[in-house]
Amino acid sequence: MQTLITTLDDGVATLTIDRPEVRNALSDVVLAEIGQVLDDWEHDDAVRAVVVTGSGEKAFVAGADITQLTGYDLAHGLAARMQRLYDRIEDYAKPTIAAINGVALGGGLELAMSCDIRIAAATARMGLPETTLGVLPGAGGTQRLSRLVGTGRAVEMILTSRLLTAEEAERYGLVTTVVPADDLLGTAATTAATILAKGPLAVRLAKLVIRRGADADQRTGLVLEQLAQTLLYTTEDKAEGAAAFLARRPPEFRGR
């Protein structure tokens, strides 16, 4: 990989975007390599959760590479390469956590929003400044931001290009936790480990029902919930979880 650093520890894979000289900006190469890593990890049983972060202390991802943006045209817009990649991350079968170590701007914040959980360093700043460049957030930002913080705040943030502090982002519901910078990756790893101790099928279906239910009316969402629960009732994981609880021992889930 030219632009990424990957590690694996106790089932938690960490993907670090490593372009600190340009604040980890997203080039076509970065996007291609992220897609390749996701392909590799998707079918790797050793990888059970994914943490995404940026190299250095200043930036998570500062957005798209503006040197490439100058050449974008109608074909690039219709291809929606970044949007498609982020849709894939949102739908990824394994839990994903964004560890926002610094500024997360434009496509960087959109990347974080496509993850299941967002944890920010206290020094992080984030926003969608695309209107300053005469474009709009085109990798899911107009949709995911409004679902996370509400339409009113999303409109204000996008139209003004205002950046949020980590504390503001937590208050808005854009990030779930704010921690000291030195504790960021440790907190992300602990969060991942907590998730991995749960039933893997339950985690996967919970993600699916929450995501798809959010795009449906409540009654349809409840049907999705009922069907997912019915399926889980038939699994070995359910039997093991109940047996372990009654025996007061840790469960040994197998994802079956």
Domains present along the chain, CATH in parentheses: 4-196 (3.90.226.10), 200-247 (1.10.12.10)
Structure tokens at 228: 């997912």
Each residue of 226-246: pLDDT tens digit?
A: 999 999 999 999 999 999 999
80: pLDDT strictly greater than 80: no
Rounded Cα distance, 156 and 163, in Å: 11
Contact criterion met (CB below 8 Å) for 131 and 155: no
Q: Taking the model in full, what pTM does it have?
A: 0.92
Each residue of 93-152: pLDDT tens digit?
A: 999 999 999 999 999 999 999 999 999 999 999 999 999 888 889 899 999 999 999 999
| Chain mean position to CA 72 | 26
Each residue of 196-226: pLDDT tens digit?
A: 999 999 999 999 999 999 889 999 999 999 9
pLDDT of residue 72: 74
Tell me which of 21, 33, 57, 130 is the catalytic residue: 130
Each residue of 26-70: pLDDT tens digit?
A: 999 999 999 999 999 999 999 999 999 999 989 999 977 677 777
- Per-residue pLDDT, averaged over 177-198, amounts to 96
Rounded Cα distance, 3 and 27, in Å: 9
Q: Cβ contacts of residue 156 below 8 Å, gap of 6+? A: 162
Annotated active-site residue 110? The verdict is: yes
Tell me which of 110, 167, 225, 252 is the catalytic residue: 110
Structure tokens at 83: 């949007």
Contact criterion met (CB below 8 Å) for 98 and 111: yes
User: For 117-126, 185-194, 247-256, which range has the lowest pLDDT when averaged over its residues?
Assistant: 247-256
77: pLDDT strictly greater than 80: no
pLDDT of residue 246: 95
Q: Specify the length of the chain in residues.
A: 256
